[in-house]
Amino acid sequence: MDGTKWTMFNVGTDGNGSYVMGLTANDGARIYETEVIGDVIGNVVCGGGVYAAVGIWGNPKKAMGAKLMEYSLANSEISGQVSERLNLPAGSHVVNLACWRGQVVTVAMRRNATIIGVLTGQGERRWRAVRSDLDYDGDDDVVGVRGSNLLTASAYDDVRSLNLRTGGVHLVIPSPSPGDFQAALDRGRLIAWVGDDDGHSYVRWYDVKDGQMLEEISADRV
C-alpha cells in the first residue's frame, strides 16, 4: 500500500474477465483495476490489505478450487498474489469475504440458509453456524461485519443486518437506489457505489445504525 486510504467497493466480471476495482476515500473517486484469473466471488479491505475470493471459471460458488487473493496498491496499480486455498465445510458455498477484528473471514452459506464464517489463517476455527431467515438469492453481497452483525446488500433492493448470535434480520437502508448498488464498510460507515436510471454514478456514505446518508460525491468522471 502507498499510504493512501482507500476502500475496495466492487469486484466483478465485465464480460472479458474478472477485475478488482478500488476507490480512494481521501483524494476523490479514483478507480484502480486489475484482471484476475477465475471468477471473483467476494472482496474485503482488512488490516491494511485487500482480499478477494476467486473461484474456478464457470462455477464461481464452488468451494473446491477457490482461492484467497491478497492485493497491494503500488504505482497506482493493484498487484495480486494467491494467499491460500479456501477450505469450506461440505455442502456450503462462498457468499463473500468480511473483516472481523482485523482478520479476513470467508462467509459461506449452506442450502438451509445457515451462515458460516471461517477465519483465514486460523485453521478450521469458525463462527457458530447461524440459521437465519436471510433470503439470499444470489444477488446479495456480504458488505462486512460490524460488532455481531453481518451486513448484506442487495444489488437493487435494500441493505440488511443479520445478527450472528440470534439469526435475526433487520432492515438498515430500504431501497437505497433505483439503479445498481454496491457497498462496503468504510471506517464504520457504509460506502456505496450507486447508479441511477439516468446513467449517473455516485459514491455515498451512510450511517450503519439508522441508514441516513452522510455524504455524496459524483463518480461520473471516473
Domain of 114: which CATH number?
2.120.10
Coil/strand/helix, residue 217: strand
Is residue 162 included in any domain, yes or no?
yes
Give the pLDDT of residue 11: 53
Is residue 1 included in any domain, yes or no?
no
Gap between the Cα atoms of 207 and 59, Å rounded = 35
As a whole number, mean pLDDT of residues 195-205 equals: 74
Is residue 132 included in any domain, yes or no?
yes
Is 220 a residue whose pLDDT tops 50? Answer: yes
Q: What percent of the chain stands above pLDDT 70?
A: 40
Is 214 a residue whose pLDDT tops 80? Answer: yes
Is residue 210 included in any domain, yes or no?
yes
For residue 125, list its beta bridge partners. none
pLDDT 10s digits, 70-88: 766 555 455 666 566 676 6
Strands (DSSP E) contained in the chain are 6-13, 18-24, 31-36, 39-46, 49-55, 67-74, 77-85, 92-100, 103-110, 114-119, 130-131, 140-146, 149-154, 158-163, 169-174, 181-186, 189-195, 201-206, 213-218
As a whole number, mean pLDDT of residues 165-175 equals: 71
Is residue 72 included in any domain, yes or no?
yes
Cβ contact 206:212 at 8 Å: yes
Look up the domain containing 101 and give its range.
6-218
pTM, to two decimals: 0.62
Gap between the Cα atoms of 123 and 89, Å rounded = 12
Is residue 22 included in any domain, yes or no?
yes
Is residue 32 included in any domain, yes or no?
yes
Give the pLDDT of residue 127: 59
Number of structural domains found in the chain: 1
Gap between the Cα atoms of 132 and 201, Å rounded = 33
Is residue 116 included in any domain, yes or no?
yes
Our CA angle for 11, 93, 207, nearest 5°, is 50
Looking at per-residue pLDDT, the higher value among 98 and 180 belongs to: 98
